Chains A and B, each alone.
Chain A
Amino acid sequence: MSSPVSALKLTGLAKSFGASIAVDCLDLDIRAGEFYALLGPNGAGKTTTLRMVAGLLSADAGGIEIFGINARRAPIEAKRITAWLPDEPMLYDKLNPLEYLEFVAGLWSIDASEAQSRARELCEMLDLWKHRHERCEGFSRGMKQKVALAGALIHNPRLLMLDEPLTGLDAAIARQVKDILVERVRAGAAIILTTHILEVAERLADRIGIIQRGRLIAEGTLAQLRGVSGSSQSTLEDVFLRLTQATELAA
């Protein structure tokens, strides 16, 4: 049996801002077809890690490999199969959803007719179709988040990085988004998600990584994490708090 393909491989990744160490020799291996939740307290280095993978920050040291592509050496090729959805939707207020999706499709060099049908499919799936000609400036936060998610999905990324993707979404849409993400994973994409809503990670993630002070302090399935924390019946919230508090005390 062949070993699963590595979707994202971080080796000794490091980043400092002046004297403050944001990411400290981080090693991570996320496989294709895996839903990975990266958890950590505020300022643990989650977003910095994702920004380095997305090519928005240059790493001080270490390697980033996305489906075998060295992202530090060939960033354009790596970005072609990647999507990053930050917690604050990156939109243009004066564009409508269709114009935004056309723009995104253009940047990722997707064939026009394919992009058009994909845009329609995504708009319908995310309940945006009836708002497709309205400018984003009038949208609620949840609506903006949906447009940004459609933009992240339009080029069928193989690695999807989501920073707090469910913020501002109503229950029905949040459920829809979760279904879409699960479907993506089943189709072979890898998803790395950061969230403070631990129930989401508990329900969706195949594996969970807990990061603190820029280092990975625990990683595994929920059952494995329960084992590490020594409480077999605990919720992820209990496990998370126990592990992070223990690390904090040790530091």
Chain B
Amino acid sequence: MKFRPGSFPWLVAHDLRLGFARARSIFGDARPATILAVVAAIVAVFHLLAWPAALWFIRVDGEAGASALNYPALACAALFVLPWLVSQALSNATRALYSRGDLDLLLASPLSARTVLAARALAIAIESLMSVGVFLFPLANMAALLGGWRWLAIYPALAAGGLLATGAGLAVTVALFALVGPKRTRFVSQILATFIASAFVLSAQLVNVLPEELRDSVVATFNHPQSGSWLDRDGFIWLPARAASGESAALALWCGAAVLVFAVSAVALGPAFMASARRSAGVGGATGKTRASARARRFRAGVGVALRRKEWLLLRRDPFLASQLLLQIVYTLPISVVIWRSLGPNGSLALAVSPCIVVLAAQISASLAWLAVSSEDAPDFLASAPVSRAQVERNKLAAVFAPLGLFLAAPCLALAFVEPDMALLTVVFALGAAASTALLNMWRPHPGRRSDMMRRHQQSKIIGLMEHMIALCWAVATVLAIMMSFTTLLPIALVAALLWCNHPRGAPRAAIAG
């Protein structure tokens, strides 16, 4: 379908085409037929996975009638979907603001800025929607196939959620821009998006941590709320859940509210967003901190100092690093809570916490090592300097370990208060894990941009797999060591074998030429 050039749908189609091109880059140089086959296979697998959930929906419908719903389950779903949508919208809105792309071109064109923003906002909403829809639409389809047609309401309910989240995302971005300024908005919004996205993970774990009696009481309150209370099923809080389950009045109200919020945001915040976009174009200059510290500082000499200092400055100023590392921590820590609870009241804290610390050390070290080696901004410059490759690598490794120490200090110190010997063991194994994944990334570099850190495994899935395997091996080794088993040497030997296979042995490396 062709739209009139410059029209609103034409702009939306343009933005979606760019989004599609970004998504397509995951497949590298694969032919369209291959991509289509892979996508079809993924869609089929998701539909198969959705089958049991759809069956359960239909069973609940059949047992208690269409008006009865499993409210705690739907509440959990809403708790996951809505924060995720807001987080995605926030990230996408910030990206639209800072990754200039074609925004300068569009703003310089005779198109109305309001139309440009509205189109971009709608594209953001669609992209955010698709990030969740890929999991939930198969569920709606399977439920409909099994006779539960009302579950097709997930489509419009989710679309409304996308619009609402985008409105909120735009508002938060513009507010942040006004509150903390253009230089810090990107950083703050990344952290905020991380926390919002992790709301579900934390909430789910919160339920696990609660004492059994309290948990039963919470579930009972959700299932049988008092009339007139904030949990009353006629209240606004259940609106998204009722809309998704096909209740027509709720669906109409939910969609209407979403369209209204989106339209008001796009129209009212349009000029502010565009002004922010224009101001963000000049971002990159000095921050007050840089200015003050640089004025006070004297030059320091030495190759090692220069290399490490440069890495630390770049890590500290990476706008995405903090949020991405935080996300890894937030998603890993609840696992230790689950293990701890499953061990019972007399379980060893080290057994629950140490493997998670070791896995975190491996992951963080891998990320930092990739940043230091593969996303080196000026590899040719380093290669033209009178410094040996070994010297560069040694100092980069040292630079990676220092921030890692900061991340691990708090949990290891906390563990030391309870089980000091186990804390020492954890530190040793965490350092081993960190060194292993850092060496893997140094020996098998895959050049990429810093902002692509979390997507780096798309470039080399084998390296990603090995990274995870090394982390897992060290975690298993830690557990076995805590249990005083000599078999702890087996996973360590496997790691050593993996590293030995990846050692370059004099072969030329891509990132740092010699």
Contact = CB atoms under 8 A, between A and B. Distances in A.
B381 A113 contact: no
Interface residues of A, number: 47
Interface in A113-167: 113, 115-116, 119, 132-139, 151
B294 A92 contact: no
B387 A107 contact: yes
Contacts of B282: 138
Contact-size category for B: 35 or more
A92 B294 CA distance: 16
A49 interface: no
A102 B305 CA distance: 10
B374 to A, nearest CB: 15
A116 B303 contact: no
Contact of A103 (B284, B294, B309, B388): B309
A109 B386 CA distance: 9
B373 to A, nearest CB: 14
Interface in A159-186: none
A134 B285 contact: yes
Nearest to B378: A90
Given A94-B313, A96-B294, A137-B284, A55 B384 contact: yes
B300 A95 contact: no
Interface string B359-399: 00000000000000000011011111111100000000000
A104 B378 CA distance: 12
Interface in B281-332: 282-286, 290-291, 294-295, 298-303, 305-307, 309-310, 313-314, 317-318
B385 A108 contact: yes
A94 B305 CA distance: 18
Contact of A108 (B283, B305, B386): B386
A91 B377 CA distance: 7
A94 B471 CA distance: 31
Interface in A67-94: 75-77, 79-80, 82-84, 86, 90-94
Contacts of A106: 300-303, 305-307, 309
Given A93-B284, A96-B290, A99-B294, A105 B384 contact: no
A112 interface: yes
Contacts of A111: 301
B513 interface: yes
Considering residues B295, B383, B514, which has the most beta carbons from chain A within 10 angstroms of its beta carbon?
B383
Nearest to B183: A135
Nearest to A102: B299
A56 B384 contact: yes
B482 to A, nearest CB: 41
A106 B318 CA distance: 22
A116 B409 CA distance: 35
A102 B300 CA distance: 7
A105 B387 contact: no
A133 B307 contact: no
Given A99-B313, A110-B301, A135 B284 contact: yes
B299 A94 contact: no
A103 B385 CA distance: 11
Nearest to A82: B384
A135 B383 contact: no
A44 interface: no
Contacts of A132: 294
A133 B295 contact: yes
Contacts of B378: 90-92
Nearest to A93: B377
Given A108-B385, A134-B284, 8 more contacts: A54-B384, A90-B381, A102-B309, A106-B301, A109-B303, A134-B285, A138-B284, A139-B284
Interface of A: 51, 54-57, 75-77, 79-80, 82-84, 86, 90-96, 98-99, 102-113, 115-116, 119, 132-139, 151
Interface of B: 282-286, 290-291, 294-295, 298-303, 305-307, 309-310, 313-314, 317-318, 377-378, 380-388, 513-514
24 contacts: A55-B384, A56-B513, A75-B514, A77-B386, A79-B386, A82-B384, A92-B378, A93-B284, A94-B318, A95-B310, A103-B307, A105-B301, A105-B306, A107-B386, A109-B303, A112-B298, A112-B299, A132-B294, A133-B286, A133-B294, A133-B295, A134-B284, A135-B286, A135-B317
